[in-house]
Amino acid sequence: MTLSIPVIETENLILRGPRESDFEAFAAFGASERSRFVGGPFPRFRSWGGFLATYGHWALRGYGMWMVEERATGATAGRIGFIFNDGWDEPELGWHIFDGFEGKGYAYQAAHAARAHGAQHFGLDGVISYIDPANTRSLRLAERLGAQYERDGEVAGHPCQVWRHPQQGTAA
């Protein structure tokens, strides 16, 4: 089965479907302390399952997470897009920027592009982001994206804050 995952290009990034060559960067993130805000650290086997779930989400829902590629180097810089797992309130715009790619504005650039694409092509307008209250970098990014704190919530059994992104006005 071949999935048609759209490609989004920004000034510095290419958002695209996952490739097997992305797995090492994905697994390194999953094994690191940086993954604690998304339930990690994870053993490599669990990261492989999460990596494969990227395809499953696109196949089942018709939208999902893109791998973030740094245009200048071709390096895998993170993962950004939409997640709507079983038991969640509604689709989420989520982001993971991998070690060495923070502080370049990539998370903002990619999340902004993904959010606009989701509103225009998937009807995902005014989505939420689940954010661990201790994840100050994600809280700052949500604010920079214009999201507003909506309420306290829970995702996958963990307390979080629910942030609402502004309507893009381009929903399908």
pLDDT tens, N- to C-terminus, the chain (172 residues): 578 999 999 999 999 999 999 999 988 888 777 767 676 688 888 888 788 889 899 999 999 999 999 999 999 999 999 999 998 889 999 999 998 999 999 999 999 999 999 999 999 999 999 999 999 999 999 999 999 999 999 988 889 999 999 998 654 4
Q: What per-residue confidence (pLDDT) applies to 172?
A: 42
Q: What per-residue confidence (pLDDT) applies to 35?
A: 65
Burial 87-106 (b: 16+ CB within 10 A, else e): eeeebbbbbbbbeebeeeeb
Cα–Cα distance, 52 to 46 (Å, whole number): 10
Complete domains list, the chain, with CATH: 8-125 (3.40.630.30)
Contact 172, 121 (CB under 8 A): yes
Contact 30, 50 (CB under 8 A): yes
Amino acid at position 70, single letter: E
**Contacts made by residues 144-153, CB under 8 angstroms, sequence distance 24+:** 144/108, 145/108, 145/111, 145/112, 145/115, 153/89
Q: What per-residue confidence (pLDDT) applies to 149?
A: 98
Structure token pair of residue 163:
């942030």
Q: What per-residue confidence (pLDDT) applies to 45?
A: 85
Angle between helical axes of 106-117 and 136-144 (0-180°, round to 10): 50
Q: What per-residue confidence (pLDDT) applies to 87?
A: 87
Burial level of 153, CB count in 10 A (0-12/13-18/19+)?
middle
